[in-house]
Structure 1
Amino acid sequence: MLFVVYINNLYGQSKIKCDLIGISSKAFDKNPLLKRSIYTIQDAGADFQIQKSVFDVNSYSGLLVRNSRYNLFDADTRNQFVDKVLKTNTSEFSAGVRKKLRSGQTTDISLNYGFNNSNLPFNSFNQNVGAYWGNHTSTINFSLTQPLLRGRGREVTTVSERVSLLYIENSKKNNEFTNSYEILQIGFAYWNYFTAFKNVEIYKQNESRVRNVLEITNELIKADKKPAGDIVQVNADLANQEKLTILAEQNLYTARLNLGGAIGLSNEESMLLDIPENEFPTISQSEYRNDLDKNTFLKLAKEKRADLKALKKVYEALEMQAKLAANNTTPQLDLTALASYGSASMGNGINETFSSLTSNQGRNMSVGAKLSFTFPVNNNLAKGNLAKINIALNDQKVVNDNLQRNVELNISNAFNNLNNSVLILEKAKEALDNYQVAFKNEQEKFQTGLTTLLNLILFQERLTSSQLEYLQAYQQFANAIINLRHETGTLISQDIQGFTIDQKSFYSIPQTDN
C-alpha cells in the first residue's frame, strides 16, 4: 500500500501545471517554430557580420627564398672569377595592410625588403668586394584610392552594411509577430481544453439528473402514479447520456493533446498536463464598453503590429539597394595618390639589413598620382540589376499595401466578433437561467403528476444544451479577446530581457487613448 501511495505521489508531482502564463512561457523553450525564429535572427546577424568584413583590415605578407646556378658560356669573361658557374642567392620579404574605409577610400601600406648576393666578387660598380657580397634594398609604399564616380561616399559604400541591419530588425519584428501568433494558438487551444473539461462536467451533471429522474420514476411507479413502461424511456435516456459523456471525455483527451502540441510538448508530456486552472474572463474583466470605436483599434494596430514594422524595414532596405544599383550604372573613375620611400645598402651583417631603410646613400623617394577609368560600353549588368531592384521595390510596395489592407479587414472582423460574442454570451446566460428555472418547475410538476415523462426529458435536454451553448459562448468571447489582442499587436510585449506575457492579455481587450 505504501508503494502504491508513493507511485501516485510521484505521478502527481510530474504533472504540468496548466495555467495560461506558465504554459505560454514554456512554449518559448519547447515550441519548434519559436525556436526556429530565433535562428532567423542569428542568421541575419551573421549576414551583417559578413557585410562588415568589407571594411576589415586585411594583412598580407610573402617570403621568397631562391638559389640559382647559371652555367656561363665559355666566352664569358666571368669564368676566370667564378669557375664557369654563377651562383646567386635571393631573399625577398613583403608585408602590408589594406583597408577600405566607410567613406569610400581604399588605403594600402606595405614594406618590401630584398637581399641578394652571388659568387661573383664584383659589385654593381665593378669593385672587387669578394664573393657573396650582400645587396640590401628596402621600400615603404603607401597608396590612397578615392572613387570619383562609382562607389563614392559613405551613403554608397555602407549600403550593404545598413541593409543588413535593417534585415536584422526585420527578423526581430517577424520573430515578435510569430511569437504573438503562436501564443494566440496556445490561447485558442487552452480555451478549447477548458471548454472540453467543463463539457465533461456538464455531461456528468446531466447523467446525475437522469439518474435522479430514474429514482423519482421508480418511486412513482411503486406508488402506482406512473406506468411501469416509463422506466424504459428513462433507461434509454440514461444510456444516451452516458454515451455523450464518453464522447466528451474523448474530446477532452484530444483537446489536451492539441494544447500540448501548440505548446511544443511531446505526446508523453502532453498527457501530463493538469486540469486547467484559469476560468473564462467575465465581461467586466474584459473592460468591454458599448462605445468602443473600431478606428481606435486600427490606429493601435498600425502602431503596434510587428509584421507591419517588419515589412517597413524590408522596403527601406530595398530603397537603399536601389540607390546602390543606380550608383553602379555610373563609370568607375578612381584617383590614386602614391608615395614611396626606400633605401639600399651593401655588405654583410645584420646591421646592413637594417641600414638598408635608413642609409642616405641609395635613398629613393617618390610621389605620384594615377587616374583609372573603367566603364562597360553596354553596361547591361548594372542596368539589369537596377531594373530588378526597382521591380522588387514596386512589388514590395504591393505587399506592404496588401498587408495593410488585410490588417484593416482583420481588425474589422475581430472587432465585430467581439461585439457579437458579448451579445451571444449575454443571451446564452439569459437562456440558461430560464431553462434552469423551467427544468426545476417541470421536475415538481412530474412529481405531482402534472406533466409527462417525455416533457421532463425534453426540458432536461434543453437545459443541457443551454449549458453547453453558454460554455461555447464564453469560449467564443475569450477567443475574441485574444484575437483582437493579436490583431492589434498587443498580445505580447518585449523588453531588453525578452518577451513577456501579461495575464491581462488573455482577459482584457487592448486599451486605447480614447
Structure 2
Amino acid sequence: MRHCLYGILIGVTALASDVCAQVRCDLLEISRKAFDKNPTLVRSGLAIRSAEADLQIQRSTFDLNSFSELLFQNNQYRLPGADPRNALLENSILRNNALNLSGGLRKRLRTGQLTEFSLNYGFANNNYPVNSFNQPIGLYLGNNTSTINFSLTQPLLRGKGRVITTALERANSLYVLNAKSGNEYTTSYEIWQIGLAYWNYYTAFKSLEIYKQSESRIRNVLSVTEELVKGDKKPAGDLIQVKSDLANQEKLTIMAQQDLYNARIQLGKVIGLSTEESLLIDVPENDFPTIAESAFRKGVDKADYIRIAKERRADLMAARHGHEALQQQFVLAQNNTKPQLDLTGFLAYGSASTGNRMGDVMASFSNNEGRNIGTGARLTFTFPVNNNWARGSLVKSQMALSDQNVVVNNIQRIIELDVNNDLNYLDNSVINLQKAEEVLNYTQDVFKDEQVKFQSGLTTILSLILFQERLTAAQLRYLQAYQQFARAIINLRHDTGTLVVPDNKGFVIDRNAFYTIPDTNNN
C-alpha cells in the first residue's frame, strides 16, 4: 500500500512536470502575472476607478448647466352676463392662447457665487377685438414679449469662499490619492505573499531532492551491507536495520512529495491561479539570494530604515491622504453650522411688439416701444432654529478626523516595530545561515569518514545510519536557513515600502527587491 501511494504521488508530480512548462516559475514573471490574476489586486484597481468617479461626481457641482422650457396654453372663459365685453364677443366666450419659450445657463463658480443667464420669449393672443387702450384691433392679434435676465448670488455666511465651495472636491481628490496609495500597499502585500510562497515552494522542491539523495545514500549503504554480509564481514541483522531505515526514508520522501504539492497549490493561490493552472507551475527557476549579493552589512542604522519606511510606506501615505480629506470635510461641516445669508443682484432687459409676423417676433427683442430695463438686489436669510443636522454632522466629522489621526499614529508606531523586528530577524538569519553552512560542511566530512570506517569494519551500521540522518538533517537545516534569509530580505523590503515601485503604467517589480536589502542612500 505504501509503495502504491508513493507511486501515485510520483505519477502526479511527473504528470504535472510534463506540462508545467506552460507556467514558468520565475519570480518576476509570476509576480507580473498576479496583476491580471490576483482578485485582490483587481479589486484594488477597481477601487481607484470608483474614487475617480466620486471625484467626477463632485466636480459636477461646478458644471455649466443649461435649462429650457416650452409652454403652450389655451383658455376659454365664459363671461358673466353683466360683463360689458359680451357685446363684442361671440357666444360670450373669451378665448386666450399663450406660448412661452425660455432657456438659459446656470453655473456655480469655485469662488462660491451662483450665476444665471436666461432668455425668455412670450406670445399671447385672444379673440377680444379691442386692445388694452380700447382701440379696435383684429381677432387673435399677437403680443410678443422678450426678456434677457442675468443674476449673481453671493453667499455671505454659509458657503462663502473658495475654501468652502471646493472643500468636497479637494476631499475627493485626496480620496483618489488615498485609493492609489492603498492600491500600492495592497500590491506590495500581495507581491510579498507571492515571494514568501515562492521561497516556500523552492524550499519544498529542494527538500524533496535532499530526501531523494538521502534515500539513494541508504540504498548504497544497503548494497554495501549486502556485499559485506555475503563476505561474512557483517552480521545479517545489519540488513534488517538498513531496510528499516530505508522504509522510514521512503515515508519521508512521500511526505516531501505532499509538501511540494501543497506548496505549489499555495503559490498558485496567492498568484490568483485556478487549481488546474496551479498544477501547471514549473520547477522554480530562481535560487536563494546569497549574503554577498544581498549587500548585507552589520551595524546598519535602524533610524535610516525607519525614515525610509515613513517616506515610502504606501499605507501610511494613504492614511495621511485620508486625514487631509477628513480635514477638508471638517472645515465644511463647521461652515454648515452657520446661517445662510445670500445677496443676489440681477439685471433684466426686455421689449415688446405687436403682430403675428416673424418680423414682429424679432422686433420684440429690439423694439423701442415697450422697452424695459430693470436692476435690483435681493437678500435672503435662512436660519435653522435647532440645526441638529449641521451640529450632528460636525460632531461626526470631528470624531472621524480624530479616529483617522489615531490610525496615522498607529501605522507609524507599527512601522517602527516592524522595521526593528525585520532588521533583528535579518541579522539572526545571516548568523543562522553561516552556522548552518559550517555544520553542513562538518557533517559531510564526518559522514564520508564514517563510510570508509564502515567498509573497513571499524564502525557499526547503527553509527553509519546515525551520521547519514545527521547529514540529511544538516542539509535540511541549511536549506531552511537560506529560506529564513530570503524571507528576511523580502520582509524588510515590504515593511520599508521598497518592494514595488509605482510608475505611469502601474508598478515596477525589480529582481533586486527579492535579492538585496534596501539601500539607505538610494532606495
TM-score class, shorter-chain normalisation, is: over 0.9
Among residues 434, 437, 444, which one is paired with 1:426 in the alignment? 434
Structure 1 partner of 2:288: 280
After TM superposition, the structure 1 = structure 2 runs for residues 240-279 of structure 1, keeping only pairs within 5 Å, are 240-279=248-287
- What is the alpha-carbon distance in structure 1 between the residues aligned to residue 177 and residue 388 of structure 2? 33
CA contact (8 A) 2:486 2:514 kept: yes
Instruction: Report deviation, 1:434.
Output: 0.4
Distance 1:228 1:13, change over 3 A: closer
What do the CA deviations read for 1:297-355 (whole angstroms, capped 9, x no partner)?
A: 11110111011111111111111111111111222111111110001111121111111
Q: 1:513 offset after TM fit, Å?
A: 2.2
1:96 deviation in Å?
A: 1.2
Preserved contact between residue 20 and residue 280 of structure 2 (Cα < 8 Å): no
Of the candidates 107, 117, 123, which is equivalent to residue 99 of structure 1?
A: 107
* CA contact 1:193–1:259 (8 Å) conserved in 2: yes
Q: Would you say the 8 A contact 1:115–1:137 is kept in 2?
A: yes
CA RMSD of aligned residues (A): 1.4
* Match runs of 1:122-137 below 5 Å: 122-137=130-145
Distance in structure 2 (CA, Å) of the matches to 1:338 and 1:230: 112
Q: Structure 1 vs Structure 2: percent identity of aligned residues?
A: 59
Contact 1:123 1:133 in 2 (8 A): no
Q: Write out per-residue CA displacement over residues 200-222 of structure 1, whole angstroms, 9 at most, x where no aligned residue.
A: 10010001100100011011111
Residue in 2 aligned with 1:437?
445
Task: Indicate yes or no: 2:57 matched with 1:36.
Answer: no
- Are residue 57 (structure 1) and residue 64 (structure 2) matched? yes
Match of 2:401? 393
2:12 is aligned to none
Output aligned runs, 1:108-507, within 5 Å: 108-507=116-515
d(CA) in 2 for partners of 1:364, 1:354: 16
Structure 1: unaligned runs, 5 residues or longer: 1-7
| Residue 7 (structure 2) aligns with | none
Checking the alignment, whether the CA contact within 8 Å between 1:133 and 1:347 is kept in structure 2 is yes
Q: Which residue of 2 aligns with 1:4?
A: none
**Cα-to-partner distance string for 1:391-429 (whole Å, 9 max, x where unaligned):** 111111111111111111111111111000000000100
Report the Cα distance in structure 1 between the residues aligned to 2:222 and 2:388, rounded to whole angstroms: 90
Match in the other structure for 2:53 = 46
SS at match of 1:202: helix
Query: For residue 62 of structure 1, what is the amino acid of its counterpart?
Result: E
Which residue in the other structure is 1:74 paired with? Answer: 81
| Greater alpha carbon shift after TM alignment, 65-74 vs 459-468 | 65-74
CA distance in structure 2 between the aligned counterparts of 1:486 and 1:16, rounded to whole angstroms = 25
SS in 2 for 1:113: strand
The gaps in structure 2 that reach 5 residues or longer are: 1-14
CA distance in 2, matches of 1:138, 1:268: 75
Tell me, yes or no, if the aligned pair for 1:333 and 1:373 is still in contact at 8 Å.
yes
The 1:14/1:280 distance shift into structure 2, 3 A limit, reads closer
Between Structure 1 and Structure 2, how many residues are aligned? 507
User: For residue 27 of structure 1, what is the amino acid of its counterpart?
Assistant: A
Which TM-score applies when normalising by structure 1? 0.97
Structure 1 counterpart SS, 2:150: strand
Q: 1:9: how far off? A: 13
Amino acid at match of 2:471: L
Secondary structure of the 1:383 match is helix
Q: Tell me, what secondary structure is at the counterpart of 2:84?
A: coil
In 2, Cα distance between equivalents of 1:47 and 1:436? 65
Q: Secondary structure at the match of 1:78?
A: helix
